[in-house]
């Protein structure tokens, strides 16, 4: 017998499942259009990005980079003795920042008169959701349920000491040595953080390079920086098993058809993320490669049900992608055109030096039959770059040869995640290399390296 109390008194115009960047952005957009809005969140408002992802990671990166610089007297000209990182204080700093930002979102939701319900949502049909044994009706349902860390199901994957990014960002465990399984964004960021804090780090990546989803030179260049700092990088390496021996874990992996082992204190599973799509009780929408299939308006195969962010297929799993989709989905629901262009989505990796990209690479352009020219500069030739970093970085731009339009930019340098925004704007607006160069850029600034790369490309355009 169904023990639920029945349909609630209210029926919403929009019901959103998930309170991360996509979910709360959609809620704010919806109330701005006078729609009655409900937001359901099982855990904390802010989602993975704020609580267990982007923000905690960047807090750790900030401290790790500062500590690395202080320890390098030759680079900073600062003589510091007996410096160390207080893990408990760093964890407290991270928690304080996260709490402050989360409280800001909660206050904004309250001020917007958005009904926030804490609980696990189950979609009964395309206009009914069950949460806390209550049924809620809505004209439109938006799934913004995000994703969770994936684990490779080998022997020993569930042993104590085998952790995910959720665990490491919640507890910040100190350790002598760590094996990171996965050389993508999460794995590389954690490798940089823990190496700076004094941990011996080994990275195993199944593909032929770090950051395999980005332009090839970025991952290969980062591997050189990592190796210089003592991080062991093993590409084309496949995790086989994890075992416990006395006080250590032992990771077995295959590399070049040879079975190898390495002992460590902790194993970090950083082999991607799994979309949260198991929300449906009865009818289930189409799923492809683990993510919900959506159309050009972000609607799933079930009418009235939309999906945005990590759980939706076809787009990068990035917080700012989810936020842009959130703005657009409310526009679509209200019969308006999209406000955000998702054709050019900048991405960033918060290693040291930072990595960022926007647009398409030379290889992608070749596959599309586009003839290109490129311009590349060493960022240590830039005054600010030389002052700020001792690592050799670069900025590369890609332009369409026939039109001169800027179609791609790739950076590994100081402040790359900020510098990439100008390139993304120029690409989105269809600007030519010459048009971007008409803008006067200040001196001395980091962005001058981007200008130099554009000038190198312009010479090839003729």
403 close to 395: Cβ distance less than 8 angstroms:
no
Altogether, the residues listed in the chain come to a count of: 462
Q: Which long-range contacts (C-beta less than 8 Å, at least 24 apart) are formed by 421-427?
A: 421/346, 422/447, 422/450, 423/346, 423/358, 423/359, 423/397, 423/450, 424/344, 424/345, 424/346, 424/358, 424/359, 427/344, 427/358, 427/359
Q: Which long-range contacts (C-beta less than 8 Å, at least 24 apart) are formed by 80-85?
A: 85/197, 85/198
397 close to 425: Cβ distance less than 8 angstroms:
no
Question: Which string of b and e fits 312-326 if b means at least 16 CB within 10 Å?
Answer: bbebebbbbbbbbbb
Helix (H) or strand (E) holding 185: helix 185-196
Helix axes 21-32, 319-333, angle to 10 degrees: 30
Integer CA distances (angstroms), 148 to 22, 138, 238, 270, 418, in order: 15, 26, 22, 11, 27
Handedness of CA 161, 165, 171, 177 (dihedral sign): positive
DSSP 132: T
| Dist. CA 270–CA 204, nearest whole Å | 10
Beta bridge partners of 179: 202, 267
297: tokens are 């308006």
**Collapsed DSSP state (helix, strand, coil) of residue 144:** coil
| Dist. CA 265–CA 161, nearest whole Å | 7
Whether 62 is a known active-site residue: answer no
Residue of 363, 438, 444, 377 lying closest to 413 (CA atoms): 377
Integer CA distances (angstroms), 89 to 66, 68, 329, 333, in order: 15, 17, 41, 46
What does DSSP say about strands 232-235 and 200-205: parallel, antiparallel, or unpaired? parallel
Terminal-residue alpha carbon distance, the chain: 77
| Dist. CA 4–CA 170, nearest whole Å | 35
Catalytic residue ranges:
443
């Amino acid at each position: 017998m169904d023990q639920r109390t029945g349909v609630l008194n209210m029926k919403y115009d929009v019901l959103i499942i998930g309170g991360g960047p996509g979910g709360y952005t959609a809620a704010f957009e919806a109330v701005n259009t006078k729609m009655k809005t409900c937001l359901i969140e099982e855990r904390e408002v802010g989602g993975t990005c704020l609580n267990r992802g982007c923000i905690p990671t960047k807090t750790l990166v900030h401290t790790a980079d500062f500590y690395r610089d202080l320890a390098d007297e030759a680079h900073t000209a600062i003589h510091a003795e007996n410096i160390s990182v207080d893990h408990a204080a760093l964890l407290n700093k991270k928690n304080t920042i996260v709490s402050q930002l989360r409280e800001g979102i909660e206050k904004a939701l309250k001020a917007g008169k958005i009904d926030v319900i804490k609980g696990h949502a189950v979609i009964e049909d395309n206009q009914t959701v069950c949460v806390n044994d209550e049924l809620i009706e809505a004209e439109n349902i938006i799934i913004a349920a995000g994703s969770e860390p994936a684990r490779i199901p080998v022997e020993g994957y569930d042993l104590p000491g085998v952790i995910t990014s959720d665990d490491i960002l919640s507890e910040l465990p100190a350790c002598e040595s760590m094996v990171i399984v996965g050389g993508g964004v999460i794995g590389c960021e954690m490798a940089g953080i823990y190496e700076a804090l004094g941990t011996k780090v080994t990275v195993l990546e199944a593909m032929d390079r770090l950051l395999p989803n980005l332009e090839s030179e970025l991952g290969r260049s980062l591997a050189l920086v990592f190796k210089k700092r003592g991080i062991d990088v093993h590409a084309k390496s496949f995790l086989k098993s994890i075992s416990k021996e006395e006080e250590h874990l032992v990771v077995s992996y295959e590399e070049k058809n040879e079975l190898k082992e390495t002992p460590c204190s902790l194993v970090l599973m950083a082999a991607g993320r799994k979309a949260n799509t198991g929300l449906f009780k009865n009818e289930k929408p189409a799923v492809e490669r683990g993510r919900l299939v959506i159309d050009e308006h972000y609607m799933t195969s079930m009418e009235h049900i939309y999906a945005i962010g990590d759980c939706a297929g076809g787009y990068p799993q990035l917080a700012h992608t989810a936020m842009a989709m959130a703005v657009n989905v409310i526009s679509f629901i209200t019969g308006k055109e999209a406000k955000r262009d998702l054709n050019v989505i900048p991405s960033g990796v918060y290693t040291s030096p930072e990595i960022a990209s926007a647009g398409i690479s030379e290889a992608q352009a070749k596959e599309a039959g586009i003839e290109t020219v490129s311009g590349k500069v060493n960022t240590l030739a830039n005054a600010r770059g030389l002052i700020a970093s001792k690592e050799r970085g670069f900025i590369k731009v890609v332009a369409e040869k026939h039109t001169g339009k800027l179609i791609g930019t790739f950076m590994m340098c100081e402040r790359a995640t900020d510098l990439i925004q100008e390139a993304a704007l120029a690409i989105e607006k269809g600007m030519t290399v010459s048009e971007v160069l008409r803008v006067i850029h200040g001196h001395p600034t980091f962005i001058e390296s981007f200008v130099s790369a554009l000038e190198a490309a312009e010479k090839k355009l003729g």
